[in-house]
Amino acid sequence: MAIERTLSIIKPDGVSSGVIGKIIGRFEEKGLKPVAIRMQHLSRHEAEGFYAVHKERPFFKDLCAFMTSGPVVVMILEGEGAVQKNRDLMGATDPKKAAPGTLRADFAKSIDANTVHGSDSLENAKVETAYFFRSTEQFSYEWKR
Ligand code: IDP
Ligand code: MG
């Protein structure tokens, strides 16, 4: 499988409940390496731009309000099949439906406060990683391979 890059966000609930380290630990255990990372309090403009694909959905306003309610951790994860691997580790959008052992089953409180974001396709991963990080902010493990 190809080496991919995907965007992960630890949402405000994950940050405030003190599980940043546990979440990143799970990624690293499964071979997803952070190659860019930053803590940031999103502005409304930044959140609305990021979630623009959902702007017609009924939950858009609440989603943007939640995502700007406190700091988040944005990061790029690199690894074999990183896009799908990250989605598998996250679990279903609604934590009540997320499989046991997934991040959302273990840490999320509700469908709004569902702890993590992950790109849902390689195409979206390219757009989303570029939304938050310039190429000069992305580390490369090339020299180790
Ligand atoms: P995903 O995060 O699992 O990819 P999306 O469908 O892309 O799910 O939705 C983006 C985010 O919007 C979700 O993570 C969740 O926080 C929120 N969301 C999605 N559907 C609902 C809903 O029906 N009610 C409230 N919030 C929702
Ligand atoms: Mg999504």
Nearest residue (CA) to ligand 1, atom 12:
63
Q: How far is 12 from 66, CA to CA, in rounded Å? A: 7
How many Å lie between the centroid of ligand 2 and the Cα of residue 54? 9
Q: Which atom of ligand 1 is nearest to the CA of 93?
A: 3
Pocket of ligand 1 (CB under 6 A): 54, 59, 63, 93, 111-112, 114, 117, 120
Closest C-alpha to 9, from 61, 75, 68: 75
Strand order in the sheet with 33-40: 33-40, 72-80, 3-10, 116-118
Q: How far is 105 from 110, CA to CA, in rounded Å? A: 10
Gyration radius (Cα) of the chain, Å: 14
pTM here?
0.97
Q: How far is 29 from 9, CA to CA, in rounded Å? A: 18
pLDDT at position 141 over 90: no
Q: Give the pLDDT of residue 140.
A: 87
Nearest residue (CA) to ligand 1, atom 5:
93
Confirm if 123 and 4 have CB atoms less than 8 A apart.
Answer: no
Tokens (6 digits) for 109: 């409180």
Q: Give the pLDDT of residue 144.
A: 60
How do residues 29-79 score in pLDDT, each as one tens digit?
A: 999 999 999 999 999 999 999 999 999 999 999 999 999 999 999 999 999
Q: Check residue 5 and report its DSSP letter.
A: E
How do residues 124-134 score in pLDDT, each as one tens digit?
A: 999 999 999 99
Q: Give the pLDDT of residue 34.
A: 97
Q: How far is 51 from 42, CA to CA, in rounded Å? A: 12
Return residues with CB closer than 5 A to ligand 2 (ion): 120
How many Å lie between the centroid of ligand 2 and the Cα of residue 85? 14
- 3-state SS class at 106: helix
